[in-house]
A and B are shown apart, each in its own frame.
Chain A
Amino acid sequence: MTGTLLYGGAIGLVIIGLYAIVARRHLMRNIFGLAVMESGVNLLLASVGYRPGGHAPILVAGAAPGPLVDPIPQALVLTAIVIGFGVLALALALVVRVRQAYGTLDNRAVARRLRAENGEARS
């Protein structure tokens, strides 16, 4: 039951994020979609290491270890969160620049201007 909920939630988040990236034109919304999708992936990774009734994998002298959750996916999630944070910060910095340059954050309008500008540089 918990497993279904975790995996369903993770995949749901990924799909919501992908939808926001693919179907929305506003660049800010695309970036929010990216953040949601990354959370989904992180939840998926954490769920992979989950064991029903498991404890944190810390061994204490004298105490018999019960079932433990798998620590490797947790280490991966930690790394992935940090990377995701960095990428998100870079994306926001670029959004500011794009907005200053073109005065719009409509992805299609930006793509059109970009194509035109690449063409201008050529002629």
Chain B
Amino acid sequence: MKEILSLDHVSFSYEAEDGGTRRAVDDVSFTVNDGEWIAIVGHNGSGKSTLAKLMIGLLFPEEGKVKVFLEELNVDNLWEIRSDIGIVFQNPDNQFVGSTVQDDVAFALENNGIPFEEMVPRVHESLAQVNMEGFLDHEPHHLSGGQKQRVAIAGALAMRPKLLILDEATSMLDPQGRDEVIQVVDELKQTTGLTVISITHDLEEVLLADKVVVMNSGKMMLTGKPEEIFAHGDELESIGLDLPFAARLSRSLRQAGIAIQGEHMTEEELVNELWTSHFSK
């Protein structure tokens, strides 16, 4: 497997208002390989958004190394590396630069000097990938939050990135918008093998990931597959994360003395477990 991004003992501090410093990221190391979906979870102030900024060179680490596409990120290769990374931020309105959907999707292409003849097919193609091809001339204030975020994803895809970072991209959306966005990203990953890093505090989103990194006050607390992570239910709740409904119910059942096997991530798994649980006895 090819390495896409790696953090090697990375630390970063912000200057606090009292003149001192506050560690936002403390000795974090992990690797993301080609085609993986990594979820970084943590409560507000856990340092997860600082991690995103370190990954695209908006901030540089105090200690340790950030390597993207096997190159260490520095001021000279910054722009070149950024052109291969797509990032979608939290607020749908504040990242919509163009005055219409197609202008916004073309924005990164214009910045990178892609010729006009190539821009047009790329804009259409990336909008089709997020199911927004019918909205070419729509203005941002006529779109829902979920639609705007899908346009933002299309804007990132137009550059044909190797890595897509979602920095809390679904946290300001209603449940429907959130589902639309998650579904689009999941489809993209299935069809194109895109590498995805999603930074979130929503544990439902984590279920789709191959690997999870749990952050708490700047440190990596846990890392592993989603089922391994959810086995630490109490620890997750102690740092202010909500378990998915199925996992919560499964835990409560066990606490109530009902013998059920294994961990249950989705409602379907749990239902299957429950209706077959008495067959063996």
Note whether A and B form a binding pair: no
Give the A-binding residues of B (Cβ under 8 A): none
Give the B-binding residues of A (Cβ under 8 A): none
